[in-house]
Structure 1
Amino acid sequence: MLLLTNAKILTFDENMTIIEDGAIFIENGTIKDIGNTEELEMKYPDAVFKNVKNKIVMPGLINTHTHLYSTFARGMDLKDKPPSNFVEILKKLWWRLDNTLNEKDIYYSALFAICECIRNGVTTIFDHHASYNYIDGSLDIIADAVKRCGIRANLSYEISDRHGKEKSQAAIKENERFIRKVQLIKNSHLKGLIGLHASFTLEDETLKTVSELSQELNIPIHVHVAEGIQDYQDSVKRGYNGVIDRLNRFNILNPGSLLVHGVHIQKEEIDALKRSGSYLIHNPESNMNNAVGASPIKSFIENNIVTGLGTDAYTHDMFESIKMANLLYKHESKDPRVGWNEVYDMAFINNKKIASRFFDKKLGSIEKGLPADLIVVDYSSPTPIEKENVFAHILFGMNGSMVQTVLVDGKILMDNREVTFLDYEQLRRKTQKQARDFWKRF
């Protein structure tokens, strides 16, 4: 039994309730009671009291698209001329990287990245993995890192024909094997989706096979969609109206599928996207970094397409992604009035909806009966924090480095900026050593 006391609680419930001098009573991983500190201290005298000293307590953040395998890319020499467009970025960096990863690389890349998520207040992630030098069992390696760290993670393997049919078939089998495994063990922290890279690296036969597997397992797809203009152009060359049209013809766009990026989705495809019941995941920083353009977020929102927010592993700090999504929306719209409600909905309503669907329990809120996935943020505001201005404080005041304490299912994963389940400095040293070995092989 744990009692967090003396907190300013931002519940992110339907009414955006704020509790001053609040306390949260946690038992068996669940929020059992919320209220005034003095009252709950008297009500639960046998609990372990943890005084958070007037800091902010809010739900753990959710990242609906990331790549844990990308850790070793930071600071790496490509040993080649700098890529000048999106396809060159894929060929010179990411496809070489994923074709170099070995078992040890996968583990340390994932373990360190998950720790970075925790250190930035992210408690739930949707990961999209590729390691074409090591396919079979690769998702189990990541799952081991997830279990060690204690977060919630939905994992998928990125199926692609770019390395040939034999490897794409192995990738399909890896998704199927892992999904059947997690369905059997029913771990509330570990789930799976069927991963696809992007339409322009997939043949029709592969899409047909994946569609049949999706229906058999009753599991949606996690796929990159129209990130670069080349994806759209490839679909047109194959005789389709665009990426959405092609994927829709193969029943890839099912309710709950995660369509990532969507930068070059065409206006005439929006209606089909809306009817599909799929989710669109926006990754603003990655799109700008790759110079692929900006997603037509306004069109998605106007057509009631549920749009979530991810990072594409450009960062593990969702506060940073939230800020950039707001700025990009304003910049593209040339209107300083927009972005407020839209980005708030992406991060704190739609991400919650998406995660809650796949983890079979409501996440992203502080309410009685919900999992105790909480973060304590050391944010000292010069102005009042009220329900009408919470998002403004997040945009202009908070960042991931302010996160002091992180709990998932009531278990403390980080306290006073120190992760509790491993020696972080030792992990950093081991990861750097592994990175140097990886760079030699790259």
Structure 2
Amino acid sequence: MKGGIELLILKGGTVVTLGEDCRVIEDSGLVIDGETITGVGKSNDILAEYGNKEGVTVKDLGGRLVIPGFLNAHMHLYSSFARGMSIAGPSPKTFKEILERLWWSMDKDLMTEEELYYSALIGAIDSLKSGTTAILDHHASFGMIEGSLDVLEKALKDAGLKGSLCFEVSDRWGPKARDASIEENVRFIRKNANDPFVRAMFGLHASFTLEDETLKRCAEEAEGLNASFHFHLAEGLADVTDARERGYKGVTDRLYELGVLIPGSLAIHGVHIDEPEIELLAKCGVNVVHNPESNMNNAVGVPNVVGMIAKGVNVGLGTDGYTPSMLESAKVAYIIHKHERRDPTVGWTETAKMLFESNAAIFSAHFGKPMGVIKEGAAADLVVLDYYPPTPLTPQNLLGHLIFGIRDSAVNTVIAGGREVVKDHVLVSVDEESVMAEAKKVAERYWKKRS
């Protein structure tokens, strides 16, 4: 046992391990020691080896399905207060108008620790209750830049959700805000470089709100910190048009020439990129993150995920703040490419790869520990589902059970970093009812400020 922490044994579940050697283990036994899985096998074998040790807690899962916790490769926690919010005046007709009249207006008015904390806490709670155990968040609060990521970190740790944070650098609010946002990234990356629960990346907004000199400066800062970038790529056509007007072949080439396309970085969306740009991303070792529901909601188009994967790009899956649910995102990812291509043969392989393999690779590399897999030495991040397969369950057909048989309501228990944060469908890390009541008060004051 590490540091005197009790061992937790989960017995009697049906485990799908995922990973390269994916197995389905019925009547399984799992051993959790601190933040790490230290034993995986059949219940009888695990109990025989660990059951008589001092300080062991045994939990019977009653045949429930156990899988690695879902991983969300792109989230915007600050968007929580937009829920139900209306936009004054006529409805935005373009994606750029949506940004200007909703999101940029909103992030400029986020200016208190209270607003940041509760908006993040709402998103963290909703993520956990949908079975997500870790997120890569992209933050913007230009009313409060300095120290903002510390506030989000507190919310994540209070709720028990693992995460990686960054601040969205942009030139749209002038040099003072730009400089402060760069410094917030630098400060937080240094502070959290080795934190096992909350890590850091270097955040950038879309290319069209960033000047060349700003991108060069960020590239230099990131190189000195050995940090990777988290940025929006060609989500809308404005990104492409802007890059060409600046004299570049396209937005991807611009970011390449200015030093942003470094290995391990996250290029979010990639809706409007062509084949040479896809090949460039693959060459540079940059991950793309697909957010199907957000793309549909903003009517920006459908990225060529099938082509990206075929060209060797590691394409992960996220939600872009549209939903906290990775299960929901996977269900849409599975059908959107069939619909777009009028081809029923696509979607299965790509969705399984994004959800199970690519996200696991992104998070494992970033956190320095195996994630998205159940094996000895992996992170103790698990979701237990009230699901008893009515048809055979195999390593090859788990996605079919998730897409066609499982809903978020099936999330029974969630363990993140070895800590049970959801038990029997109830969040136990914080008092959800009181958090939501207080968040409503904070949101009401925030909305009045914007009216």
- Normalization by structure 2: what TM-score? 0.96
Match of 1:11 among 17, 23, 28: 17
The 3-state SS of whatever aligns with 2:21 is coil
Is 1:288 aligned to 2:296, yes or no? yes
User: Which residue does 1:406 correspond to in 2?
Assistant: 414
Query: Which amino acid in the other structure matches residue 157 of structure 1?
Result: F
Q: Extract structure 1 runs of 4+ deviating beyond 3 A.
A: none
Task: Write out per-residue CA displacement over residues 259-302 of structure 1, whole angstroms, 9 at most, x where no aligned residue.
Answer: 00000012332222221111011100000000000001122111
Task: Write out per-residue CA displacement over residues 117-136 of structure 1, whole angstroms, 9 at most, x where no aligned residue.
Answer: 10011111000000011111
Match of 2:430 among 402, 412, 422: 422
Is 1:41 aligned to 2:53, yes or no? no
Structure 2, unmatched stretches of 5+, are 1-6
Task: Write out per-residue CA displacement over residues 358-386 of structure 1, whole angstroms, 9 at most, x where no aligned residue.
Answer: 10111011101222111101113321212
Is 1:346 aligned to 2:354, yes or no? yes
Match of 1:55 among 52, 64, 72: 64
Percent of pairs with identical residues: 43
User: Which residue does 1:120 correspond to in 2?
Assistant: 130
Shift of 1:325: 0.5
Shift of 1:187: 1.4
Query: Quick one: distance in 2 between partners of 1:301 and 1:396?
Result: 24
Q: Could you tell which deviates more after superposition, 72-81 or 345-354?
A: 72-81
Is 1:70 aligned to 2:79, yes or no? yes
Is 1:369 aligned to 2:377, yes or no? yes
Instruction: Let me know the Cα RMSD of the aligned residues.
Output: 1.1
Maintained 8 Å contact 1:318/1:400: no
Query: Quick one: distance in 1 between partners of 2:250 and 2:154?
Result: 38
The 3-state SS of whatever aligns with 2:109 is coil
User: Which residue does 1:133 correspond to in 2?
Assistant: 143
User: Which residue does 1:178 correspond to in 2?
Assistant: 188
Query: Quick one: distance in 1 between partners of 2:379 and 2:269?
Result: 30
Shift of 1:82: 1.3
Shift of 1:88: 0.5
The 3-state SS of whatever aligns with 1:158 is coil
Query: Which amino acid in the other structure matches residue 163 of structure 2?
Result: A
- Normalization by structure 1: what TM-score? 0.98
Shift of 1:236: 0.8
Maintained 8 Å contact 2:208/2:239: yes
The 3-state SS of whatever aligns with 2:48 is helix
Shift of 1:413: 0.8
Maintained 8 Å contact 2:197/2:417: no
Q: Could you tell which deviates more after superposition, 121-130 or 372-381?
A: 372-381
Query: Which amino acid in the other structure matches residue 296 of structure 2?
Result: M
Match of 1:265 among 253, 273, 284: 273
Query: Quick one: distance in 2 between partners of 1:369 and 1:260?
Result: 30
Q: Could you tell which deviates more after superposition, 419-428 or 351-360?
A: 419-428
Query: Quick one: distance in 1 between partners of 2:332 and 2:288?
Result: 17
Shift of 1:225: 0.4
Q: Could you tell which deviates more after superposition, 310-319 or 363-372?
A: 363-372
Query: Quick one: distance in 1 between partners of 2:417 and 2:184?
Result: 29
Shift of 1:392: 0.6
Query: Which amino acid in the other structure matches residue 233 of structure 2?
Result: V
Query: Quick one: distance in 1 between partners of 2:359 and 2:418?
Result: 21
Structure 1, unmatched stretches of 5+, are none
User: Which residue does 2:26 correspond to in 1?
Assistant: 20
The 3-state SS of whatever aligns with 1:355 is helix
Query: Which amino acid in the other structure matches residue 7 of structure 1?
Result: G
User: Which residue does 1:145 correspond to in 2?
Assistant: 155
Maintained 8 Å contact 1:242/1:266: no
The 3-state SS of whatever aligns with 2:167 is strand
Give the 5 Å matches for 1:86-235: 86-102=95-111, 103-183=113-193, 186-235=194-243
Shift of 1:388: 2.4
Shift of 1:29: 2.5
Query: Which amino acid in the other structure matches residue 10 of structure 2?
Result: L
User: Which residue does 2:306 correspond to in 1?
Assistant: 298
Task: Write out per-residue CA displacement over residues 69-116 of structure 1, whole angstroms, 9 at most, x where no aligned residue.
Answer: 000101012222211110010011000110111221110000111011
Maintained 8 Å contact 2:18/2:395: no
The 3-state SS of whatever aligns with 1:325 is helix
